[in-house]
Amino acid sequence: MPKHSNEYISHGDLQDLTGLPKRVNLGDAKKRISGQVSAGKAHIEGDMELGKKCVTALRSSGEFKRATQGFHSYPARLHPEAARLLLEALPGKTLADPFCGGGTLLVEALIAGRQVFGSDLNPVATLVSTARTALLSQEQLTRLSKELDDIHQIAAQAMDDKRHVYLHPAILKYKSWYKTNCFDELACLHDAIRNYESELKPLMQAIFSSLVVKYSLRASDTSNKVVYIPRKNGAVLRAFKEKSKEYTAQLAELQTLVPPGTAPAMITLADARHPNFDNVDTIITSPPYPGTYDYLPLQQLRQAWFNLDMREKEEIGSRRAFKQVKAAYEAWLKDTDNWIQASANALVKGGHLAIVVGEGMQAGKLLRVAKPTIQAAEKAKLSFVTSASVERFDPATKMKKIEYILVFSKP
């Protein structure tokens, strides 16, 4: 196995490198495959024609792998068909998403020929979105394929030679999340990419990122449950090679679907309360549902591999914040006012803001989202257009929650 450099690790950093993180339970033999909860009864207020289109979007389900939409898992992402239908229902020349996540909307907007702007507070989100929206020429695709082969060969040779590789101390603290052979192969890939000079390196990093959770002991991107799956030597290296071929094929398909002359997506690391875009005619976004996920801590493994600053204190509506329900809900209301005002400022006159948001739940009580979101839009001088909603039965809480698409316009 390769040796890992400890040259930058202090004595204090070396404590408890092999212990599993707290709040972890032994799990099943297989990793969980998440699925969308099916939609039930629908309700529409306001513009009925647009509301019906929004309900159809909310009911989108099933596998969907057009272009790069199947690349890299991402927690709680909008269904790609829902994104396509919303873009169809709200036509325009530009599209911005201040909570872009894994870039589902951005990909569909590119395919629709729009000028695309995306931002997110989460650096993993911007990495994945950048990879999903990459528009490469045939020459660049050929070069990417060759360079990915180079990375695979360099990493494989490092494994054969048991070569010394450098890892940042942060990832060594999470080594126990991996079987030894998987960790060592990831380490060699990580080091090969780190030392490779290429303008396409972010795309290589995204492919590596797609393997970080899958070949760990974590059950999924949204669960810290531990599962044990036998992995033969070479499994990670083979997966990298297969994922590389799959991804380059997806990029080639994306290039054929995007109309000629469409500008590349502009994706930035930014807080939705201070987005890096302006003068757009359409904003479609799905902010965090209050008290539902801890999006930034969920990326603990990728954070460690890439040594990322996750700015966790700035996350909106995080589940961990709702240990104090009243204070957290009040903070969510204030943050909703602020990001909607920022979005309203970025819209041109006559532009539309569509928000996909669902109720959260804490301490056995539902956290309402529709009325405060509408009130925030009114404060921002936006006009209500339609509210479309569907009921979803949450098997975890055995309660019905409502998910909404709320559409507003700027007079």
The 3-state DSSP class for residue 365 equals strand
Q: What is the model's pTM? A: 0.90
Write down the pLDDT at residue 363: 78
Please, how many CA atoms are within 13 Å of residue 346, restricted to the half-sphere of its CB? 25
411 three-state secondary structure: coil
**198-221 burial, b if ≥16 CB within 10 A, otherwise e?**
eebeebbbbbbbbbbbbbbbbbbb
Task: Quote the CA–CA distance of 99 and 122 in Å, as a whole number.
Answer: 9
CB atoms within 10 A of CB 42: 16
- Contact 340/377 with Cβ under 8 angstroms? yes
The DSSP-derived string for 73-95 is --TTPPPHHHHHHHHHHS--SEE
What pLDDT was estimated at residue 189?
Answer: 97
Which pLDDT score, from 0 to 100, does residue 293 have? Answer: 82
- Cβ atoms < 10 Å from Cβ of 70: 15
Distance CA 394, CA 366 (A): 12
Residue 296 confidence (pLDDT)? 83
Residue 340 to residue 292: CA distance in whole angstroms: 20
Query: How many Å separate Cα 218 from the centre of its chain?
Result: 17
Task: Give the pLDDT score at 3.
Answer: 64
State the sign of the Cα–Cα–Cα–Cα dihedral 301, 305, 307, 308: negative
Q: Which pLDDT belongs to residue 28?
A: 38
Going from N- to C-terminal start, the domains of the chain cover: 4-28+137-257, 39-135+261-297+309-409
State the pLDDT at residue 17.
32
Q: Which class is domain 39-135+261-297+309-409?
A: alpha beta
Residue type, 311: R
Q: In this predicted structure, what is the pLDDT of residue 145?
A: 98
Q: What is the pLDDT of residue 234?
A: 96
Per-residue confidence (pLDDT) for residue 27, from 0 to 100: 36
Is-contact 109 91, C-beta < 8 A? no
Query: In this structure, how many other beta carbons lie within 10 angstroms of the beta carbon of residue 127?
Result: 24
Q: Mean pLDDT per segment of 10 residues, for the chain of length 411 residues?
A: 47 32 38 54 96 96 88 90 97 97 97 98 96 97 98 96 88 93 97 96 98 95 88 97 98 98 97 95 96 86 93 90 92 97 98 96 86 98 97 78 96 96
How many other C-beta atoms are found inside a 10 Å radius of the C-beta of residue 142? 12
Residue-by-residue DSSP string for 31-79:
-----PPPEEEEEEEE-HHHHHHHHHHHT--S---SGGGGSS--TTPPP
**C-alpha dist (Å) from residue 331 to 100, 314, 324, 339:** 21, 11, 11, 12
Decide if 168 contacts 307 (C-beta within 8 A).
Answer: yes
